[in-house]
């Protein structure tokens, strides 16, 4: 692990260097019963657009910011643009006084898919931006044309320059009525951020309705912005001349919470979660109950008691919020691999999100994939194996499965997991799991 200084703070995350790469893996001894309590970290998917929006403020303090490699990537972008950032004990401070650039180089854009959310903020601050296409997990096409179409309606001209996007708002940004063809979370966020300082009013119809959208709206309002979301999910933004400095606390991460619950469910364990928002898990909780788990929700707590063997899930269909989240599909599939019957998954968001299925089969799972449908026939036993993380949530599913498997599992390419889970191995060890992280340095020629 490399210690990276960001402003006055220290941020630790895996980082490549020329000629050398930091590689790590998890070693998991399965079939340990879990018990205890965990605090749910701040939401990665809420923190990233908020960090982009800090570009429009003089100074921002963002609490409950998780210590993740994706957060490090966002901080690297902010520092490249000239900002000063520090992350200390879950609080990210961003000072934009020195912001002097309007471009993001290719190597920084490729670190994560969410880097595209900086586009609206840079244009709103500088009236121009030049970026390359974003990177991140390979989950199939995630076209950014919805982002670009929305920004064009706000007055942005965009030219594709051999893999770079050259964007300008020569006459400034102005409000517009925008109807999204699909409720894209990233496009909604980009438009919201840019519209917050545009002239006039903006309406976003068929906007994404995820909790992270509401958290971004709360941040913008705390900065003096004017954002409202009606009962149908339509977003109304009245542009202001400038945003002010503010403090904001990021919401809990609902996908991390669902992952911890999956770990408890597959191992027949009890678990108490705190600093969680049960209302954000309304699509997941009934699935755990269908699998035979007992759940009890408090105001900011969630308890689960799991049976010795799970029941199958008849049908899991991923949908935009408030439907079942695509990010929870992989951990739930790992659960169902040890159920007492057949479960069916239908992936409606990304067309290449079953890469983890093949790795689960290496552990003895019985999964058949055909296009967007995966049929999981539960087996009585999984066995330890050498497997490789294919993406963030797919990697989490391998950890879930390894916890219940007989024998030892070796999970490599855990850099994917570290994009979204803060101290995964430490948290699981605190519950009694037998998991350790092994670091390995190697040269790349």
pLDDT in tens, 34-88: 999 999 999 999 999 999 999 999 999 999 999 999 999 999 999 999 999 999 9
Average pLDDT estimate for 374-403:
97
Q: Which domains does the chain have, with CATH numbers?
A: 24-41+254-443 (3.65.10.10), 44-249 (3.65.10.10)
How confident is the model at residue 200, as a pLDDT?
Answer: 98
Q: CA angle, corner 264, sides to 259 and 269, nearest 5?
A: 175
Q: How far apart are CA 150 and CA 185, in angstroms?
A: 13
Is residue 13 over pLDDT 60?
A: no
Distances (CA, A) of 350 to 51, 56, 245, 325, 409: 25, 31, 37, 11, 28
Please, which pLDDT band fits residue 441 given cuts at 50, 70 and 90? Answer: low
How confident is the model at residue 5, as a pLDDT?
Answer: 34
Higher pLDDT, 62 or 21: 62
Average pLDDT estimate for 195-221:
98
Q: How far apart are CA 313 and CA 329, in angstroms?
A: 12
**How much is the mean pLDDT over the chain?**
92
Is residue 14 over pLDDT 60?
A: no
Residue 44 annotated as lining a ligand binding site: yes
How confident is the model at residue 361, as a pLDDT?
Answer: 98
Residue 113 annotated as lining a ligand binding site: yes
In sequence order, the 6+-apart residues with CB closer than 8 A to the CB of 47 are 62, 65, 66, 71, 74, 92, 250
Question: Residue 94 — φ and ψ, nearest 5°?
Answer: -125, 120
Catalytic residue among 65, 99, 137, 167: 137
How confident is the model at residue 135, as a pLDDT?
Answer: 52
Is residue 18 over pLDDT 60?
A: no
Segment 93-109, tens digit of pLDDT: 999 999 999 999 999 99
- The reply to whether 20 belongs to the active site is no
Higher pLDDT, 352 or 420: 420
How confident is the model at residue 137, as a pLDDT?
Answer: 42
Radius of gyration of the chain (CA): 22
Is residue 281 over pLDDT 50?
A: yes
Segment 300-338, tens digit of pLDDT: 999 999 999 999 999 999 999 999 999 999 999 999 999
Residue 39 annotated as lining a ligand binding site: no
Please, which pLDDT band fits residue 114 given cuts at 50, 70 and 90? Answer: confident
Average pLDDT estimate for 123-134:
91
Question: Residue 332 — φ and ψ, nearest 5°?
Answer: -70, -35
Q: How far apart are CA 355 and CA 330, in angstroms?
A: 9
Q: How far apart are CA 91 and CA 94, in angstroms?
A: 10
CB 42 within 8 A of CB 90: yes
How confident is the model at residue 132, as a pLDDT?
Answer: 85
Average pLDDT estimate for 351-372:
95
Please, which pLDDT band fits residue 147 given cuts at 50, 70 and 90? Answer: very high
Segment 163-181, tens digit of pLDDT: 789 999 999 999 999 999 9
| pTM for the full predicted model | 0.92
How confident is the model at residue 162, as a pLDDT?
Answer: 80
How confident is the model at residue 110, as a pLDDT?
Answer: 86
Question: Residue 238 — φ and ψ, nearest 5°?
Answer: -105, 115
Is residue 134 over pLDDT 90?
A: no
Average pLDDT estimate for 263-285:
98
Segment 247-260, tens digit of pLDDT: 999 999 999 999 99
Is residue 440 over pLDDT 90?
A: no
């Amino acid at each position: 692990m490399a210690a990276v200084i960001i402003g006055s703070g220290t941020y630790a995350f895996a980082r490549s260097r020329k000629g050398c790469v930091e590689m790590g893996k998890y070693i998991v001894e399965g079939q340990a019963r879990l018990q205890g309590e965990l605090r749910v970290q701040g939401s990665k998917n809420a923190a990233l657009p908020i960090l982009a929006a800090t570009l429009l403020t003089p100074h921002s303090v963002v609490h409950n910011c998780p210590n993740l490699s994706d957060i490090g990537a966002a901080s690297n972008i902010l520092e490249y643009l000239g900002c000063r950032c520090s992350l200390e004990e879950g609080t990210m401070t961003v000072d934009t006084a020195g912001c002097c650039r309007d471009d993001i180089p290719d190597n920084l854009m490729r670190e994560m898919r969410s880097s595209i959310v900086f586009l609206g903020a840079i244009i709103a601050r500088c009236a121009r931006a030049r970026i390359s296409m974003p990177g991140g997990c390979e989950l199939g096409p995630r076209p950014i044309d919805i982002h670009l179409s929305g920004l064009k309606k706000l007055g942005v001209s965009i030219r594709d320059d051999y893999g770079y996007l050259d964007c300008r708002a020569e006459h400034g940004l102005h409000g517009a009525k925008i109807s999204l063809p699909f409720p894209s979370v990233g496009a909604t966020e980009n438009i919201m951020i840019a519209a917050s300082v545009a002239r006039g009013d903006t309406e976003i119809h068929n906007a994404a309705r995820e909790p992270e959208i509401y958290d971004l709206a709360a941040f913008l309002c705390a900065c003096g912005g004017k954002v409202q979301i009606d009962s149908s999910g339509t977003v109304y933004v009245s542009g202001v001349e400038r945003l002010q400095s503010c403090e904001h606390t990021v919401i809990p991460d609902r996908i991390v919470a669902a992952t911890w619950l999956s770990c408890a469910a597959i191992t027949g364990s009890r678990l108490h979660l705190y600093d969680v928002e049960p209302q954000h898990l309304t699509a997941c909780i009934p699935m755990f109950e269908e699998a035979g788990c007992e759940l009890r929700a408090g105001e900011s707590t969630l308890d689960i008691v799991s049976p010795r063997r799970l029941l199958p899930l008849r049908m899991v269909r991923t949908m935009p919020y408030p439907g079942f989240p695509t990010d929870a599909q992989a951990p739930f599939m790992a659960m169902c691999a040890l159920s007492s019957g057949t479960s069916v998954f239908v992936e409606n968001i990304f067309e290449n999100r079953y890469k983890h299925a093949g790795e689960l089969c290496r552990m003895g799972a019985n999964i058949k994939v055909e296009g967007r449908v995966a049929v999981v026939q539960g087996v009585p036993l999984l066995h330890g194996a050498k497997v490789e993380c294919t993406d963030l949530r797919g990697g989490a599913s391998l950890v879930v499965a390894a916890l219940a498997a007989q024998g030892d599992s070796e999970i490599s390419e855990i850099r994917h997991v570290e994009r979204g889970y803060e101290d995964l191995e430490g948290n699981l060890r605190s519950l009694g799991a037998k998991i350790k992280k092994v670091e390995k340095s190697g040269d790349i020629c």
